[in-house]
């Protein structure tokens, strides 16, 4: 196998963890965030462990014996987890998901008329029925396979079609599948 990080890099990461009194391994990834998910120009993140400032996919690492989580890039996540390949696989899946999302956003939604809602749209994606319903107060309700409707995206109430489409993608292609 090719060497993907140097002994020097590894030693430096471990030294930093030691200085913080943090465990050297046994970390797990509880969340992964694409900082450019909604905006391709958004600033990249900085790895809290090696200070690399070009992190697009932030691996949020947690440990049962440490009081806080650390937000790091792919290789540092691999070091902390004790499994570089697993971290790289996560990163690869995030890249693929970002591509799927880009295609998803181009899809045309079908409109449905009549009924209680002011507007209704639907789309079938990956064999799932996605629906967006808009009420008279412009509240958007998003559902997948007629499950419980979601009416917020990234913690904010959905009041426009774009956010509704973003929320629909998260329901159809959940991030949790990658972890």
Instruction: Point out which residues bind Zn ion (CB under 5 A).
Output: 47, 49-50, 52, 72-73, 76
DSSP secondary structure of 157-175: E--SHHHHHHHHHHHHS-G
Question: Which residue's CB is nearer to Zn ion, number 38 or number 51?
Answer: 51
The nearest distance, CB 111 to Zn ion, in angstroms, is 46
Question: Which residue's CB is nearer to Zn ion, number 57 or number 153?
Answer: 57
The nearest distance, CB 98 to Zn ion, in angstroms, is 20
The nearest distance, CB 51 to Zn ion, in angstroms, is 7
Question: Which residue's CB is nearer to Zn ion, number 10 or number 123?
Answer: 10
The nearest distance, CB 49 to Zn ion, in angstroms, is 5
**Long-range contacts of the stretch 126-130 (C-beta < 8 A, 24+):** 126/172, 126/173, 128/171, 128/172, 130/168, 130/171, 130/172
Give dist(CA 156, CA 13) in Å, integer.
36
């Amino acid at each position: 196998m090719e060497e993907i990080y140097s002994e020097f890099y590894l030693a430096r990461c471990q030294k930093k963890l030691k200085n913080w009194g943090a465990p050297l391994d046994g970390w797990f990834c509880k969340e992964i965030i694409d900082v450019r998910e909604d905006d391709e120009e958004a600033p990249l993140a900085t790895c809290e462990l090696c200070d690399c400032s070009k992190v697009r996919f932030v691996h949020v690492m947690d440990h049962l014996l440490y009081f806080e989580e650390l937000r790091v890039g792919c290789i540092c996540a691999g070091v902390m987890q004790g499994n570089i390949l697993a971290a790289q696989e996560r990163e690869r899946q995030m890249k693929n998901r970002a591509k799927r999302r880009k295609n998803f956003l181009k899809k045309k939604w079908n409109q449905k008329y009549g009924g209680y809602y002011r507007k209704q749209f639907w789309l079938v994606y990956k064999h799932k029925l996605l629906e967006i319903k808009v009420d008279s107060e412009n509240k958007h309700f998003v559902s997948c396979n007629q499950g419980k409707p979601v009416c917020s995206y990234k913690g904010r109430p959905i009041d426009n079609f774009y956010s509704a489409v973003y929320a629909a993608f998260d329901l159809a292609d959940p991030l949790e599948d990658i972890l």
